[in-house]
Amino acid sequence: MGGRFITLEGVDGAGKSTHLTWLVKQLRSRGHRVAQTREPGGTPLGEKLRELLLGEPMHLETEALLMFAARREHLERVIKPSLARGDWVVCDRFTDASFAYQGGGRGLSTEKLGILETWVQGDLQPDLTLLFDVPIDIAAQRMAGADRQLDRFEQEHADFHQRVRAAYLARAARMPERVKVIDSRQSLEDIHKQLELITSSV
Ligand code: TYD
């Protein structure tokens, strides 16, 4: 019984973190050993890079390179060893976020991102990606209700988030086998049913 690599994606405010917590509990109750992790971050160095990435203004290519530098470390120290042990890995964001935010949001070319993707992860891809999709006005309302300071990405304008959402959906349309779109406007109960169904066949 091998482990599986599952990633969760979506625009800021799509409710992904809530669903991630539920999913991890659910997988553990099915008897799987699950490593729960996140990007950018997931390692001591990655978490330091995360702080810089979320707080410090920088050139868009610097941003992309640091995202992939953190990812390299994460793959080597957490993701690959966990999968090799047969554990499941549930990761809050991965490379699809780079294509959506640095590509769609900031306008970095898909070609450059593709080079970094191949360099950093070779042919390793998630077995399953859950894309939580929600219209940007709803996502913005959810974020406005958060009682914490918004990070550098969350502070971006609505058109940035529109481009991020469009890039995510375009990627899902190109890779329907791996990327499953979940309408985040549904009730929690309906989302849970859908998650159970999707993850039972991965
Ligand atoms: P997020 O999961 O939103 O953290 P939190 O739920 O704690 O706010 O991730 C932080 C941000 O990082 C998010 O706005 C998207 C951004 N990001 C990228 O721009 N590119 C990437 O490759 C990754 C992994 C994240």
- CB of 92 closer than 6 angstroms to any ligand 1 atom: yes
- CB of 161 closer than 6 angstroms to any ligand 1 atom: no
Bridge partners, residue 15, by sequence:
none
**Angle, CA of 112, 140 and 156, to the nearest 5°:** 40
Residue 101 has pLDDT above 70, yes or no: yes
User: What ligand 1 atom has the least distance to the C-alpha of 152?
Assistant: 14
The per-residue pLDDT for range 123-152, each reduced to its tens digit, is: 999 999 999 999 999 999 988 888 889 999
Residue 1: pLDDT band by 50, 70, 90 thresholds?
low
User: What ligand 1 atom has the least distance to the C-alpha of 39?
Assistant: 24
Per-residue pLDDT at 147:
85
Per-residue pLDDT at 2:
85
% the chain with pLDDT above 90: 95
Residue 65 has pLDDT above 70, yes or no: yes
Ligand 1 mutation pick, 7, 9, 12, 102, max ligand atoms within 8 A of CB = 12
- CB of 118 closer than 6 angstroms to any ligand 1 atom: no
Cα–Cα distance, 13 to 71 (Å, whole number): 23
Residue of 159, 177, 179 whose CA lies nearest to 169: 179
| Backbone phi, psi, residue 154, to 5° | -65, -25
The per-residue pLDDT for range 109-123, each reduced to its tens digit, is: 999 999 999 999 999
CA 198 to centroid of ligand 1, rounded, Å: 24
Q: pLDDT averaged over the chain?
A: 97
The per-residue pLDDT for range 161-196, each reduced to its tens digit, is: 999 999 999 999 999 999 999 999 999 999 999 999
CA 50 to centroid of ligand 1, rounded, Å: 9
Cβ contacts of 42 within 8 Å, gap of 6 or more: 70, 74, 78, 79, 91
Cα–Cα distance, 104 to 171 (Å, whole number): 10
Task: Kindly state the average pLDDT of the residues 15-20.
Answer: 94
181's enclosing H/E stretch is strand 179-183
CA 193 to centroid of ligand 1, rounded, Å: 26
Per-residue pLDDT at 146:
84
Q: Which residue's alpha carbon is nearest to atom 23 within ligand 1? A: 97
Q: Which residue's alpha carbon is nearest to atom 7 within ligand 1? A: 17
Task: Kindly state the average pLDDT of the residues 70-88.
Answer: 98
CA 4 to centroid of ligand 1, rounded, Å: 22
Task: Kindly state the average pLDDT of the residues 14-33.
Answer: 96
Task: Kindly state the average pLDDT of the residues 30-51.
Answer: 98
Per-residue pLDDT at 49:
98
